[in-house]
Chains A and B, each alone.
Chain A
Amino acid sequence: MDDQRMIRSFLAEAPPSAEVIAEGRRRVLAQARPRPRPRGMTFRLSLGVAATAAATAVAVALSGGFPSARTTQGTELTARQMLLAAAHGAASAPAGRYLHSHVINGQAYHVAAGDYVITGAQLEIDQWIGRTDETDDVFRSRFAGAQPQKAADRAAWQRAGSPPTWSVLSNGGQIQQTTATEPWDIRRTTPAQKKQATAYLDAEAKKCATTPQTCGKNKMLTQRQREALADDRTALRRELRSRSGEGGPGNELTRAGSLLAQSGSPKLNAAVFRVLADTPGIRNAGKVTDTRGRTAIALAARVSDERGTFDTELLLQPRTYRVLGTQTVLVSGKGAETAGMKPGTIYTQQLFLELGWTDSAPH
């Protein structure tokens, strides 16, 4: 046996769990706050921007794709009609002083002892982003407690003696999940810090425009760049597609969900829905219930990866077509991570508990 390979297998460890990745990201991005620097330009960013980046990144990390075993109820609008209705609603949504976004992520884990599924890794991010640099941003986050996913899971959990903690398989290793919810970690960004961040980002954008080698290839967009997409349907489509890699319409839905969760204007959000309306492969999967018990209409696209086949769903509120989040639902599992899970299990989720403009000051 080759000595290098032997060393590699000798030292190999299971990859980091989704929680470790999310926790590390949270730590790193929390440090990326504006801070005076002795000389030259430092890396500055508003907490709001960091938080959004974190939320988006988490969403992307946790979302594979998902399938649904449910059949389409043909009595309702087509996906396209619904998306156009959502676009109309979004365009007329009022703007306020703050964008309040309260997002909870989650992932399903199978508990072998008792054979049921819990929703864990529920990183919850609640933030108020001032529309202008004159207003504070408030950002708070925590891991919410894990819980059995559906009624049958709850019954199985109770039969197993209602254990308050679980050891479950995640990315090849065992991780702990608990029913206990963490206290909030609260951070604020002052107007002065936001101005620094804006000035810094503007300078970077200018530098990138004149000296292209200073721009990153895979760079995520600033708020200003995102807003510019509202007037450029082609660029917006390219943005949704290029970010979605090879995953097709399913990943495009997830990417759209992440974009909608950021501090976009009503106009940008409307444009996102219009682009989705023109994307082939998205179907109306009918009414579903999310893990918070909310009824939603799911627009779905099927995706497969090494963990199985899933339906990626964009969840819209019935009648108003406000976006409630994205989730991936198991169609058929493959490999250890989805072993023991039944079709219909909500494998990952990014739910928007609150998403909209408000004039009320952050608590």
Chain B
Amino acid sequence: MKGARIAEPAARTPDAFAALYDEHFPAIHGYVASRLGRDVADDVAADTFLIALRKQGRYNPEKGAIRPWLFGIATRLIAQHRRQEVRRYRALGKLGLDEVADSHENRVVNWVRAEGLQPRLAKALAALPRGQRDVLLLSAVCDLSHEEIAQALGVSYGTVGSRLSRARKKVRAALEEDDHG
């Protein structure tokens, strides 16, 4: 588990902050890019670390590890780009296979299997209440545990579980609808 070894106090020196940046930037960028696209992610991921730097004094190691703390900051920044997020899902829903292949080779493999489902998936994600979408994507995209998601979002463990199961149920229902459903 990548997060397990990061359970350490916040980086208190500039050098240590650079190390923290190097360790976590790619994962934070990946998360933001999933929700807002790559271009917006460049800025939002960097902003996440700027905020982390400013808030270092308020980071409390007893409340959890650095990784969920950073994902929590990123999630709050993403919330400020709601329209961009919905636009992205809509665009992804319309993407043809060629465009997908062009942008990221790996996607095709999984994609072909899911052929035809992208508009439904996009619509289902866009329609989720924000709290449920945060939990679902932290779990599905970033592979955070329930415990880490609870720390990231500042909600209880139980809330994570119930939001996640509700969100997954809606997504599955959308995928299983028949074409005219």
Residues of A bordering B, CB below 8 Å: 1, 3-16, 20-21, 23-25, 27-29, 31-32, 40-43, 45-46, 49-50, 52-54, 56-57, 60-61, 172-173, 201, 204, 208, 213-222
Which residues from A are CB-within-8-Å of B35? 11
Closest to A53 in B: B18
With known contacts A13-B34, A31-B50, A215-B9, A3–B22 Cβ distance under 8 A? no
Q: Is the interface of A mostly helix, strand, loop or mixed?
A: helix
Q: Report the interface size class on chain B.
A: 35 or more
In the complex, are the beta carbons of A3 and B49 less than 8 A apart? Answer: no
In angstroms, Cα B92 to Cα A213, docked, is 45
Which residues from A are CB-within-8-Å of B42? 16, 20, 23-24
In the complex, are the beta carbons of B110 and A6 less than 8 A apart? Answer: yes
CB distance from A243 to the nearest CB of B (A): 10
- Decide yes or no whether B86 CB sits under 8 A from chain A: no
Which residues from A are CB-within-8-Å of B8? 216-218
Q: Is the interface of B mostly helix, strand, loop or mixed?
A: helix
One digit per residue, 1 when the CB lies within 8 angstroms of any chain A CB and 0 when it does not, for chain B 13-34 equals 1111111111101100110011
Which residues from B are CB-within-8-Å of A56? 15, 18
- Decide yes or no whether B53 CB sits under 8 A from chain A: yes
Residues of B bordering A, CB below 8 Å: 5, 8-23, 25-26, 29-30, 33-35, 37-38, 41-42, 45-46, 49-50, 53-54, 56-57, 61, 92, 103-107, 109-111, 113-114, 117-118, 121-122, 125, 136-137, 139-141, 168, 171-172, 175
In the complex, are the beta carbons of B53 and A7 less than 8 A apart? Answer: no
Would you give 25 A-B contacts (Cβ < 8 Å), ordered by A? A1-B113, A6-B110, A6-B117, A6-B121, A7-B136, A9-B107, A11-B34, A13-B38, A14-B104, A16-B26, A16-B45, A20-B42, A24-B45, A25-B18, A43-B54, A46-B14, A57-B18, A57-B21, A201-B13, A215-B12, A217-B8, A219-B11, A219-B19, A220-B13, A220-B16
Which residues from B are CB-within-8-Å of A23? 42, 46
**Shortest 5 CB-CB distances between A and B: which pairs?**
A220-B15, A9-B110, A45-B14, A24-B46, A11-B34
